[in-house]
């Protein structure tokens, strides 16, 4: 890439990143944050205020039925999570909260196969987090923490046989379905633990986006939650076991990925941290097996209408990447609305 082009791209990406950061910081400014905070369902402060008003009734006065009902409703509401708790729960893959994770990203790709400028592509990752109660409720609930993932690539550069020769493809990837089981919170405490099977279904619309085979393997979660930070990792590994129109030059799959994260609360609703995903392909040639990104981002809890939502903006750079051709840089925005749990009753009782 020429110096002029590099300078132009650098300025564009700097402006994009600066605009995203300023937007998040504006949303978290004291004036806006206070207005939003009062609209959030954070009942503790409000409840204590109401109860103190009730307690100030002079001797001989009695509360009306409406006031009594209001106090009882406030007490019931106080069991709902605060903004800070929601902020941490939306980063915890083993939590009881269901949410619809969607990532919108632009990637820059490069390698020895490329003799020109870095190749840009668009990526959308859809990843609903669906907790499935298996047995028990509350702190005694065993749950499957399902996290199916499908990727939609836009104008992805695909290396051809000749050096510096690429085609552009748009389409879906294979569907990954991890199903680890998480023990009850009364057992794990502040630890985040889960282990179980995972599967992939050959849904790719182009052979460059999939493995042309069914796979199965193992997935797990290991992490820890403190008062003001949360960190962990979510490794998955897959082995191919049944072909789905697999070409002769496509090897039996052995691949994995590991989502890892750390988030620190700057305030109840604002976090700083990272959440990249490491990729590994055991069947690739030496030098092309690993892609290891590091990054940094900001996350903000918002209320949009009646829906609580987490917004993340981040940039990542792959410190280890494929020699021939692969992702080097990613700029991403994650939109994570909280939704009602689709399955509320435990599958095998215990409630």
Looking up residue 128, the CATH number of its domain turns out to be 2.40.160.40
Query: d(Cα 307, Cα 182) in Å, to the nearest integer?
Result: 26
Residue where a domain stops, chosen among 59, 77, 95: 77
User: Could you identify the residue written with the tokens 């030098």?
Assistant: 287
Range in 11-15, 152-156, 196-200 the model is least confident about: 11-15
Q: For residues 289 and 253, state if they share a domain.
A: yes
Tokens of 333: 């925005």
Question: Is the model more confident about 164 or about 33?
Answer: 164
Query: d(Cα 138, Cα 149) in Å, to the nearest integer?
Result: 27
Residue where a domain stops, chosen among 27, 56, 77: 77
31-62 pLDDT per residue, tens: 333 333 333 333 333 333 333 343 344 344 44
Query: d(Cα 263, Cα 32) in Å, to the nearest integer?
Result: 22
What is the predicted pLDDT for the residue at 248? 85
How would you class 342 by CB atoms within 10 Å of its CB: exposed for 0-12, middle for 13-18, buried for 19 or more? exposed
Q: For residues 86 and 171, state if they share a domain.
A: yes
- Asked, for residue 29, whether it belongs to a domain, the answer is no
215-265 pLDDT per residue, tens: 999 999 999 999 999 999 999 999 999 998 888 888 999 999 999 999 999
pTM here?
A: 0.79
Q: For residues 298 and 156, state if they share a domain.
A: yes
Q: For residues 92 and 178, state if they share a domain.
A: yes
What range does the domain containing 62 cover?
A: 42-77
What is the predicted pLDDT for the residue at 34? 35
Residue where a domain stops, chosen among 55, 77, 99: 77
Q: For residues 143 and 282, state if they share a domain.
A: yes
What is the predicted pLDDT for the residue at 81? 81
Average pLDDT over residues 314-321: 98
Bridge-partner residues for 106, per DSSP?
122, 331
Q: For residues 70 and 85, state if they share a domain.
A: no
pLDDT above 70 coverage of the chain, percent: 77
Distance of CA 77 to the CA centre of its chain: 28
Q: Is 343 left (phi over 0), alpha (psi -120 to 50) or beta?
A: beta
What is the predicted pLDDT for the residue at 80? 74
Q: For residues 94 and 47, state if they share a domain.
A: no
Tokens of 191: 């630890």
Q: For residues 160 and 68, state if they share a domain.
A: no
The answer, yes or no, to whether residue 24 has pLDDT greater than 90, is no
Q: How confident is the model at residue 315 (pLDDT cuts 50, 70, 90)?
A: very high
A 10 A CB-CB count for 49 gives: 10
Q: For residues 58 and 99, state if they share a domain.
A: no
Give the chain's domain count.
2
- Asked, for residue 24, whether it belongs to a domain, the answer is no
49-100 pLDDT per residue, tens: 333 343 344 344 444 444 444 434 443 344 578 899 999 999 999 999 999 9
Task: Round the CA-based radius of gyration of the chain to a whole number and report it.
Answer: 24
- Asked, for residue 92, whether it belongs to a domain, the answer is yes
Q: For residues 136 and 226, state if they share a domain.
A: yes
What is the predicted pLDDT for the residue at 249? 82
Q: For residues 47 and 134, state if they share a domain.
A: no
- Asked, for residue 346, whether it belongs to a domain, the answer is no
Q: For residues 177 and 47, state if they share a domain.
A: no
């Amino acid at each position: 890439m020429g110096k002029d082009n590099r300078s132009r791209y650098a300025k564009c990406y700097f402006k994009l990143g600066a605009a995203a950061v300023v937007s998040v910081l504006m949303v978290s400014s004291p004036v806006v944050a206070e207005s939003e905070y009062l609209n959030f369902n954070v009942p503790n402060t409000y409840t204590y205020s109401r109860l103190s008003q009730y307690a100030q009734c002079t001797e001989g006065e009695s509360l009306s039925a409406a006031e009594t009902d209001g106090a009882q409703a406030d007490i019931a509401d106080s069991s709902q999570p605060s903004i800070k708790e929601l902020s941490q729960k939306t980063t915890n893959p083993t939590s009881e909260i269901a949410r619809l994770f969607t990532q919108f990203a632009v990637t820059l790709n490069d390698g020895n196969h490329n003799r020109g400028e870095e190749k840009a592509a668009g990526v959308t990752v859809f990843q609903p987090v669906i907790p499935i109660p298996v047995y028990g409720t509350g702190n005694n609930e065993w749950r499957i923490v399902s996290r199916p993932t499908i990727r939609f690539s836009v104008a992805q550069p695909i290396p051809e046989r000749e050096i510096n020769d690429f085609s552009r493809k748009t389409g879906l990837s294979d569907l990954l379905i991890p199903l680890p089981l998480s023990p009850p919170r009364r057992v794990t405490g502040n630890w985040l633990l889960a282990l179980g099977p995972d599967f992939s279904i050959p849904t790719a619309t182009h052979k460059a986006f999939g493995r042309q085979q069914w796979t199965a393997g193992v997935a797990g979660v290991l992490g820890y939650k403190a008062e003001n930070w949360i960190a962990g990792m979510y490794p998955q590994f897959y082995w191919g076991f049944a072909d789905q129109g697999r070409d002769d030059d496509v090897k039996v799959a052995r691949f994995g990925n590991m989502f890892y994260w750390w988030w620190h609360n700057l305030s109840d609703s604002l976090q700083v941290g990272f959440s990249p995903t490491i990729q590994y392909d055991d069947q690739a040639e030496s030098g092309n097996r690993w892609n290891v990104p590091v990054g940094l981002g900001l996350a903000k809890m918002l209320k949009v209408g009646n829906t609580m939502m987490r917004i993340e903006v981040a940039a990542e750079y792959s410190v280890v990447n494929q020699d021939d051709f692969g992702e080097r840089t990613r700029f991403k925005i994650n939109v994570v609305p909280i939704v009602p749990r689709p399955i509320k009753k435990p599958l095998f009782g215990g409630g």
